[in-house]
Structure 1
């Protein structure tokens, strides 16, 4: 009895170790883990609507309807909540960028799953995507509205609670899914890849939590100090105008190599939140696509040995198969690193060229614009709307296309250079190159001969020893005509080679500059065919018209002086000086302005009896006196 009982116990213990107690429950939990976004978004939608209504309630509208006057508590309430301003606001620039980074994975996952799993006809899938995007915009709106609301303390508290709930939910999802995951290598690999995907989102959410915490601390400090209105901080526009009004420094400042060749920091120039958010999301998109590529490629290469052993063992030799596999794998990883580095440089160049173009426009120079460019207001508004999405898409697709092109070029280089040298030696490869490329070298020699003879025999000598180049004057004309006749037929062959070289160079430059919206890839005269470049030009022109520091400072000063000069609906004097003294001062300022800017004389209003000759004489007098 003991033996049988012991055997029964051992058998039952072995069965309990081999078979899970509740496999169905673990499977259900794993499926719930995979549908985390579908369960999390409806809950966030309710909280988001409540936060938006609360922020709308504390907003005041300038226009009050008659029906609202009966209820004093609702008078002017429920105003518009502006999530963010893309037209030139400089506040919370990096916070908006990290907020976009925090919501991007939710957007991609939910929209992708909703389109794939939606039980709708194919022709309605776009409508489903649009409705999903509308719901997502409502869910993500509190992260932006709490940053832009003028009620800083309320926005900080609501934003902290909302962003902290997202951070805790995401961490709980990752840890819980890791705990209940089946003991499978493939599932474990997927979980580590999910962690890699969610690391940037966790960092963005952590930044937002810290940002909202700092907003709360500053709000509490202002309340404790009884600040009814925050002190007005001197803006960068005023500092920029003050620098323009200063005399230039006599001695030039010595710049470092980084300032001369790479980038020079300007404390009086700030990038708008649209550019900051676009750059952050472009980096985020490139990171996600690079991570996806490397996860898939690593899994494929790690399982190629099993595939060869199971299916290709009787077809391919082991040594040859793994040699070619190493060539492909190393080329793929090296090209991925080069394409990633190039994409990072291209995205960074967005900041450099935006500042360069804006400073050029502010200085009155339009050298970066097409020669026949004419401003279309519609293109300016469309550029403001489309640029962020276009730049992100161009960055991601530019990386993919550039990676594939570099991978193909790398394989060509490996099988033309690396593989022959490794198998047959360097001397054998050099001999093969010497036998394969003599025609190319002969054509290069003929091209060099034409240049050398043109410089030595067919140009006259320098007119002065100090001249750098010879003058464009023919010498030895008879020899030149004979040489030109004989080479007429040879240059046809050279033209064929030059045509191929031009095609290769154009394709290489076009692929490298595919993600560079700020530079056109079309030749001169066809810039309008490059719609992305036209969108960039329209965007910087709209920014120039709306964020020019000189114009902004003028408007601010005009509004300030107007508000000070208006009392009870009547205009009052800006100062209490006598009228005669004020007129003398005004005339002196007018004379000084006209002397400094003589062209303004022609723009002044004249009486009808004054002719153009008098205006010309006044302009000539002003120029002569200024000189």
Structure 2
């Protein structure tokens, strides 16, 4: 990282200023792209759409010219194919067309502009209104689901992903595309190094298969992250907070960590691809060496011998475990108290026999424990590598989750912030409060609405007060 910083600057950077230079470099990139962000946030603005169209079109032309120069340029020290920024070009082209479409859409609407009183309050999105209508229905008809809904993903017309998650998905897919080319260059360089110095023949199809599997697994994790976000946010909309950990961050902490989510998710995905690539390459080498190679050479006996060695070590362990379970049920546990009991009580029948059996099995279980602990370590390392990109899964222990798993803290913070500010029921309720009040009796109406709101909140928090609440109209004066 320090060499990359020094290469971008015309002077030597001190070690203590590396972090500051990286921050300023990131700020420079943000300032360059900030006009596009400003133009996107200007709704129904002819000037904003026109400026956004011009700025993004200039960027698109610059990217096309720069890409064509890099593809045709032949450097003496670089003999590999250059990465074509195809996702970036597609995104920039989409922004150009988006601003152009909004410009021609907003211009006719200006001729029939609504009065300022009708534009005073923000409009609730259509999918939020549909969500509230579905909640008010006594029974929701369940239609027949398609194969894609049953097996892959069940979409919901009343839910829309926020801009934060869409940006994360686009940036992550762009990173997967770019990093796949980087891994391909690394594979070619490493294969040439082994062939030059050790005489090992190059096997580019194996490397291409490993890179393809790495990219597919990472894309699968991105899709699972989006689906998990939808599921957990909808649970929070319903008031089900079981998806959250027991200890929640403070409001200021949650807001701070929610701003870090996109950057942290992108970094975790890149590191996950870097870790997955050698693991999948090793798995492909093992599969090719022990399964494909014997079958290709017609030496099936070696394959059956390897399978027999594995079964010869696994079957006795399974038989011993099953035998001990049968012996414990038959001889070491007392009989059931009644004929309707399915399981015997945990009451010992022959303590002396149990102690002798435990003594003779002790030393064997020491050896078995070493083997099983090694297997558990390898399996957890493999699963941790495969699930490293999933910030919604807490990888650390439950007692150390808040100290070491900062990725999961960012995920929980995003859920808290988005569920609090995108809840369709709360947004529709606030919209009705703002749009249905009258100008003359606004203070009286809002006062009654505020009292009813606190009454509803109090009764929900204290259900026992429902029975003590006075029903009906108040009695006339002077009547007890």
TM-score w.r.t. the length of structure 1 is 0.64
2:370 counterpart residue number: 496
Report the secondary structure of 2:399's partner residue.
Answer: coil
- Which of the pair has more CA radius of gyration? 1
CA displacement at 1:455 relative to structure 2: 5.8
- Does the CA-based 8 Å contact 2:88-2:174 persist in structure 1? no
Structure 1 segment 75-86 matched on structure 2, within 5 A = none
Check if 1:618 corresponds to 2:465: no
Equivalent of 1:134 in 11, 15, 27: 27
Taking structure 1 as reference, are residues 486 and 362 closer, same or farther at Cα in structure 2, changes over 3 Å only? same
Q: Distance in 2 between matches of 1:211 and 1:261?
A: 33
- Does the CA-based 8 Å contact 2:44-2:106 persist in structure 1? no
Q: Distance in 1 between matches of 2:112 and 2:70?
A: 48
Q: Distance in 2 between matches of 1:178 and 1:332?
A: 23
CA displacement at 1:470 relative to structure 2: 3.9
Q: Distance in 2 between matches of 1:362 and 1:535?
A: 19
CA displacement at 1:417 relative to structure 2: 4.5
Taking structure 1 as reference, are residues 551 and 281 closer, same or farther at Cα in structure 2, changes over 3 Å only? same
Q: Distance in 2 between matches of 1:389 and 1:458?
A: 58
1:60 counterpart residue number: none
Q: Distance in 2 between matches of 1:620 and 1:458?
A: 63
CA displacement at 1:144 relative to structure 2: 1.4
CA displacement at 1:265 relative to structure 2: 0.8
1:425 counterpart residue number: 299
Taking structure 1 as reference, are residues 273 and 485 closer, same or farther at Cα in structure 2, changes over 3 Å only? same
Equivalent of 2:282 in 384, 408, 415: 408
CA displacement at 1:398 relative to structure 2: 0.7
User: In terms of mean alpha carbon deviation, does 118-127 or 413-422 score higher?
Assistant: 413-422
Q: Distance in 1 between matches of 2:347 and 2:305?
A: 43
- Does the CA-based 8 Å contact 2:67-2:84 persist in structure 1? no
2:88 counterpart residue number: 201
Structure 1 segment 97-246 matched on structure 2, within 5 A = 115-123=7-15, 124-175=17-68, 181=73, 193-194=81-82, 196-227=83-114, 232=123, 234-246=125-137
Report the secondary structure of 2:397's partner residue.
Answer: coil
Equivalent of 1:549 in 385, 408, 424: 424
- Does the CA-based 8 Å contact 2:5-2:22 persist in structure 1? no
CA displacement at 1:145 relative to structure 2: 1.0
Check if 1:599 corresponds to 2:456: no
Q: How many residue pairs align between the two structures?
A: 460
Taking structure 1 as reference, are residues 130 and 618 closer, same or farther at Cα in structure 2, changes over 3 Å only? closer
User: Which ranges of structure 1 fall in alignment gaps of 5 or more residues?
Assistant: 1-107, 575-582, 604-611, 623-627
Q: Distance in 2 between matches of 1:396 and 1:200?
A: 16
Taking structure 1 as reference, are residues 449 and 601 closer, same or farther at Cα in structure 2, changes over 3 Å only? closer
Taking structure 1 as reference, are residues 408 and 545 closer, same or farther at Cα in structure 2, changes over 3 Å only? same
Report the secondary structure of 1:197's partner residue.
Answer: coil
User: In terms of mean alpha carbon deviation, does 218-227 or 202-211 score higher?
Assistant: 218-227
Report the secondary structure of 2:260's partner residue.
Answer: helix
Equivalent of 1:534 in 409, 415, 430: 409
Cα RMSD (Å): 3.9
CA displacement at 1:221 relative to structure 2: 1.8
User: In terms of mean alpha carbon deviation, does 423-432 or 138-147 score higher?
Assistant: 423-432
Structure 1 segment 297-316 matched on structure 2, within 5 A = 297-298=187-188, 301=191, 316=199
Q: Distance in 2 between matches of 1:496 and 1:178?
A: 55
CA displacement at 1:206 relative to structure 2: 1.1
Report the secondary structure of 1:618's partner residue.
Answer: coil
Equivalent of 1:349 in 224, 227, 237: 224
Check if 1:363 corresponds to 2:238: yes
CA displacement at 1:560 relative to structure 2: 2.3
Q: Distance in 1 between matches of 2:9 and 2:458?
A: 71
Taking structure 1 as reference, are residues 122 and 452 closer, same or farther at Cα in structure 2, changes over 3 Å only? farther
Relative contact order higher in (CA < 8 Å, ≥ 6 apart): 2
Taking structure 1 as reference, are residues 485 and 145 closer, same or farther at Cα in structure 2, changes over 3 Å only? same
2:439 counterpart residue number: 566
CA displacement at 1:480 relative to structure 2: 5.4
